[in-house]
Amino acid sequence: MLSLLVVVMVAAAPEENPFRARVESLRALKNTGKSAEAKASGEKLLQDLTTAARAKNHTGETLLLLGRTQLYLEDDAAAALSLDEAITLSPLDADAHFYRGVAAQHLDALEAAVRHFRKATELAPKQGRGWAELGSSLAELGQKDRALEALRQAIALDPKDAYSRSIAGRVLIDSGKGPEGITLLEEALKLEPRDMLAAYNAGLYFQLAGQPKRAVPHFEAVALADPDDWHARAKLVQLHQALGDVPARDRRRAEVLALFKAKKVEAEHPDFCREQFALGGTNVLVFESFELTGERAVRYSFRVATQPGNKLQRVISLGSYEFTTSYMRGSGELKADERAWHLDGYFPDNSHQTYGIFTAEPSYEKTRAMVVDVLEGRLKPASSMTPRKK
How far apart are alpha carbons 216 and 330 in whole angstroms?
49
Report CA torsion sign: 202, 204, 208, 210: positive
Q: Say what the pTM is.
A: 0.86
The answer to whether the beta carbons of residues 100 and 67 sit under 8 Å apart is yes
Helix (H) / strand (E) element for 84: namely helix 76-89
DSSP 265: S
- Across 234-250, b (16+ Cβ under 10 Å) vs e yields bbbbbbbbbeebeebbe
Written as one string, the DSSP assignment of 214-242 is: HHHHHHHHHHHH-TT-HHHHHHHHHHHHH
How far apart are alpha carbons 29 and 275 in whole angstroms?
41
In one-letter notation, the amino acid at residue 42 is: G
The answer to whether the beta carbons of residues 93 and 86 sit under 8 Å apart is yes
Check whether 8 has a pLDDT greater than 60.
Answer: no
What does R_g of the chain's alpha carbons equal in angstroms? Answer: 29
- How many percent of the chain have pLDDT more than 90? 83
Average pLDDT over all residues of the chain: 93
In one-letter notation, the amino acid at residue 387 is: P
The upper half-sphere exposure of residue 79, i.e. CA atoms within 13 Å in the direction of its Cβ, equals: 23
The contacts of residue 312 (CB under 8 Å, 6+ apart) are: 303, 304, 305, 348
Query: How does residue 390 score in pLDDT terms, banded at 50, 70 and 90?
Result: low
Check whether 132 has a pLDDT greater than 50.
Answer: yes
Q: Are strands 282-289 and 383-385 parallel, antiparallel or unpaired?
A: unpaired
Least confident of 10-24, 150-164, 190-204: 10-24
Query: How does residue 276 score in pLDDT terms, banded at 50, 70 and 90?
Result: very high
Tens digit of each residue's pLDDT (9 = 90 or more) over 195-216: 999 999 999 999 999 999 999 9
- Using DSSP's 3-state secondary structure scheme, residue 312 falls into strand
Tens digit of each residue's pLDDT (9 = 90 or more) over 84-129: 999 999 999 999 999 999 999 999 999 999 999 999 999 999 999 9
The answer to whether the beta carbons of residues 316 and 353 sit under 8 Å apart is no
Which pLDDT value is given to residue 6?
39
Distances (CA, A) of 365 to 118, 239, 271, 360: 55, 16, 18, 14
Sheet holding 341-346, edge to edge: 271-279, 282-289, 296-306, 312-321, 341-346, 352-358, 383-385
How far apart are alpha carbons 107 and 104 in whole angstroms?
5
- Using DSSP's 3-state secondary structure scheme, residue 315 falls into strand
- β-pair partners for 285: 276, 303
The values of phi and psi at residue 252, to 5°, are: -70, -35
DSSP 341: E
Comparing C-alpha atoms, which of 119, 118, 122, 149 is closest to residue 134? 118
Positions of E strands within 307-350: 312-321, 341-346
The answer to whether the beta carbons of residues 48 and 18 sit under 8 Å apart is no
Tens digit of each residue's pLDDT (9 = 90 or more) over 46-60: 999 999 988 888 889
